[in-house]
Amino acid sequence: MDKIVINGGFPLNGEIAISGAKNSAIKLMAVSLLTDQPVELPNMPRLRDTRFMGQLLAHLGVEVEEGPGPKMTLHAKELSGTEAPYDLVRKMRASFNVLGPLLAREHKARVSLPGGCAIGARPVDLHLKAFEQLGAKIELEKGYVVASAKGGLKGADITFPFISVGATEHTILAAVLADGETTLNNCAREPEIVDLVECLNAMGAKIFGAGRSEIKIEGVSSLSGVSHSVVPDRIEAGTYALAAATAGGSVRLTNIRSDHLGSLWPLIAQAGCKVSLDETTVLIERGGGRPKAVDVETQAYPGFPTDLQAQFMGLMCLADGVSIIRENIFENRFMHCPELVRMGADITVKGREAIVRGVKELYGAPVMATDLRASASLINCALAAKGETHIGRVYHLDRGFEHIEIKLGQCGARIERMPDDE
């Protein structure tokens, strides 16, 4: 097991190219199950999660080829089975999304209930209820979902009781080959959903309304192959933007979709940073002086993303004043707070709110990553802290950030990865 060691207190200066989005790549990989033709995915990030998904798809009979460069090609000419076992699904929650495509193509599936980051309950009942409305028979059997749809799935009118990115994406993956029309109401609107729909439509699907609360799907009998570039990772872009804001300096981010972070840029500006952007790049600059305190609350897209909450809190730890950060998406996403306190932060958690009283300096300390985005917050604060910080359990980090120590090192960060003796 590795750890990351950072000697902090130095500003960042340079340029960082943003990789393809983890949250989109995993679902696009699942698309390969819906066709017997090759699916080519340029701008594919190399991450623990994409590797886990590749292992699961290979188990199901998909030919998975990486490269050249940041590209993956998947070919599910024939599937070897329809069971996704616990040992593969437990490693990553999003691997559960093979259930819908297997139901759509093979009309049956046996998939283990998922694992993943412990940041909230995130039940899959919305997914299963949607599949039942599409005509599937669902049974739970010793930790597995056993699903069948004799004669195939049928179009339906489905209303989600609350907005769920995972349920929206998964239901689209199931309904695209269903017989008839499906209408999804109260859908999530994230850019990753739009990316998924654009890929499916390029394969011959008929999906309308992605990015809006109502999506209509006219089922088709088959899908063709495709070459579809993975959308840039807005969470990676936001993380590095907040790293520059926290540590100070001047960092230009390239290969981004700046419009996907419309809720973040004004907040960084309010905190006292200069933000200069166009469609595919953004420049974050912060000189001397402390950031300013800014309140923020997480919301479904296009609101402020929960996946940047921990990183924004890291910036507020050094702000001049008091900020209130409210988490509305997940009920257990303040696990990074005790670790930040170890570095000298002043944070009080009350239910879904964290009160952050900014301090003049943070100090290096041994800390532990508790989940993917929390680990990024610790990285950002360690860059600004005086002295040396050792961050353990960085396997969380490797799930969603490609070569983070290399990208930050190119901007002057004194950061290295080394074996963890503990």
Q: Is the pLDDT of residue 422 over 70?
A: no
Q: Give dist(CA 134, CA 368) in Å, integer.
A: 43
Name residue, tokens 């000189």: 287
The dihedrals phi and psi of 299, each to the nearest 5 degrees, come to -145, 160
For position 132, what pLDDT does the model report? 97
- Mean pLDDT for 57-74 is 96
pTM of this structure: 0.95
- Average model confidence (pLDDT) for the chain? 95
Assign 164 to helix, strand or coil.
coil
For position 371, what pLDDT does the model report? 86
Q: Is the pLDDT of residue 318 over 70?
A: yes
Share of the chain above pLDDT 90, in %: 88
Q: Is the pLDDT of residue 350 over 60?
A: yes
For position 372, what pLDDT does the model report? 85
Would you call the peptide bond into 70 cis, given omega within 30 degrees of 0 as the criterion?
Answer: no
Q: Is the pLDDT of residue 224 over 70?
A: yes
Q: Check if the beta carbon of residue 290 is closer than 8 Å to that of residue 360.
A: yes
Quick one: how far is CA 46 from the chain centroid? 14
Quick one: how far is CA 311 from the chain centroid? 14
Share of the chain above pLDDT 70, in %: 98
Q: Check if the beta carbon of residue 203 is closer than 8 Å to that of residue 35.
A: yes
Q: Tell me how far apart the terminal alpha carbons of the chain are, to the nearest angstrom.
A: 9
Active site residue 337: no
Q: Is the pLDDT of residue 116 over 90?
A: no
Strand-by-strand arrangement of the 39-42 sheet:
63-66, 71-75, 39-42, 226-227
Q: Give dist(CA 7, CA 383) in Å, integer.
A: 7
What are the structural domains, with CATH classification, of the chain? Answer: 2-19+232-419 (3.65.10.10), 22-227 (3.65.10.10)
Nearest alpha carbon to residue 273 among 297, 256, 251 = 251
Please state whether beta strands 282-286 and 274-277 pair in parallel, antiparallel, or not at all (unpaired): antiparallel
For position 115, what pLDDT does the model report? 57
Q: Is the pLDDT of residue 281 over 60?
A: yes
Q: Give dist(CA 43, CA 24) in Å, integer.
A: 11
Burial track 352-380 (b if 16+ CB lie within 10 A, e otherwise): bebebebbeebbbbebbbbbbbbbbbbbb
pLDDT digits over 351-377, tens only? 999 999 999 999 999 999 988 888 999
Q: Is the pLDDT of residue 330 over 50?
A: yes
pLDDT digits over 126-173, tens only? 999 999 999 999 999 988 999 999 999 999 999 999 999 999 999 999
Assign 363 to helix, strand or coil.
strand
- Mean pLDDT for 36-65 is 96
Q: Is the pLDDT of residue 121 over 50?
A: no
Range of weakest confidence among 119-123, 181-185, 417-421 = 119-123
Active-site position among 117, 199, 317, 381: 117
Q: Is the pLDDT of residue 421 over 80?
A: no
